[in-house]
Amino acid sequence: MEFIDTHSHLYDEAFNGEYDSAVSRAVEAGVTGLVFPDIDSQSRDAMFSMAGRHEGTIFPCLGLHPTSIDAGWEKEMEELERWLDRKIYAIGEIGMDCYWSKEFIKEQQTALRLQLELADRLNLPVIIHSRESTELIINVLKECKHLSLRGVFHAYSGSAETYRELQKLGDWYIGIGGVLTYKKAGIAETVRDIPLERILLETDSPYLTPVPHRGKRNESSYIPIIAEKLALCTGRDLEEVAATTTENAKKLFNI
């Protein structure tokens, strides 16, 4: 079986000293592709450096994470544009986050709108980060409805009804990760009402580690654990989950 981790930060400092071995463990587990969402200028060089060492396995993206948006966000956007000559597979991780801070909400909205427009110009999908900000993001998507938007809502925690509302505003997939394995996770019910053809697997490593490794550092080699849980929740064979979600990822990210 073949899997693709559509959201991994293996370039994070949490993997210092074992960046390449973490990739090797993922490949050994059947995870043949890793999509690397961007955060900001502080980690961008490390991300592209890893992608260069593992061409054909790592697929880097470019974007400004909402939690990196502060008073100097415009300079960060200028820095981002200097990397547009690189081969990238999506604009992301972008979006809004009202969990950590609401101080720069208007700036987050503006940055999201600008990056959606950038994705449209480049004909690329987007990776959306949404934390306690779904309604705000939907409002931005409505403003950008004239654009040809497609992408994935990373670490999806919304309802099936919200998913259907999003589909009216673009061509959207949902990213399912380790939270699916948590006790009483609401997403375990939601995935039953969303077509498998609209689901992507992800880890968000080093975060959101699945059971039975919860409490430890997450990594891309744990994708099969998430796939097994998704198969159980939806009453499907693991082989079907692997094949369909992998094809979904290849289609969205053109890999």
Q: What is the pLDDT of residue 32?
A: 96
pLDDT at residue 67 tops 90: yes
Cα–Cα distance for residue pair 105/127, rounded to 1 Å = 19
**In the predicted model, what is the mean pLDDT of the chain?**
97
CA distances from 141 to 100, 112, 119, 176 (A): 22, 9, 13, 21
Q: Please check whether residue 29 is in contact with residue 226, taking contact to mean a CB–CB distance below 8 angstroms.
A: no
Report domain extents, the chain.
Answer: 3-253
Burial letters for 108-126: b for 16+ Cβ neighbours within 10 Å, e otherwise? bbbbbbebbebbbeeebbb
With tokens 């849980």, the residue in question is 229
The model's pLDDT over 19-57, given as tens digits with 9 standing for 90+, comes to 999 999 999 999 999 999 999 999 999 999 999 999 999
pLDDT at residue 200 tops 90: yes
Q: pTM for this one?
A: 0.97
Q: What is the pLDDT of residue 76?
A: 96
Q: Which residue blocks in the chain are alpha helix, DSSP H?
A: 19-28, 44-53, 73-81, 105-122, 134-143, 160-167, 187-190, 223-234, 238-253
3-class SS of residue 240: helix
- Residue 139: which pLDDT band, with cuts at 50, 70 and 90? very high
Q: What is the pLDDT of residue 116?
A: 98
Q: At what angle do helices 238-253 and 223-234 cross, to 10 degrees?
A: 110
What value does the mean pLDDT take over residues 149-171? 96
Q: What is the pLDDT of residue 101?
A: 83
- Residue 102: which pLDDT band, with cuts at 50, 70 and 90? confident
What value does the mean pLDDT take over residues 91-117? 95
CATH of 3-253, one of 1.10.1040.10, 3.40.50.720, 3.40.50.410, 3.20.20.140: 3.20.20.140
Give the number of other Cβ atoms within 10 Å of residue 68's Cβ: 20
pLDDT at residue 178 tops 90: yes
3-class SS of residue 232: helix
| Residue 166 tokens, joined | 């999003």
- Residue 100: which pLDDT band, with cuts at 50, 70 and 90? confident
Q: How far apart are the first and last CA of the chain?
A: 17
The model's pLDDT over 106-119, given as tens digits with 9 standing for 90+, comes to 999 999 999 999 99
Q: Which of 225, 181, 228, 223 is nearest to 205 (CA)?
A: 223
Q: What is the pLDDT of residue 5?
A: 98
What value does the mean pLDDT take over residues 92-106? 93
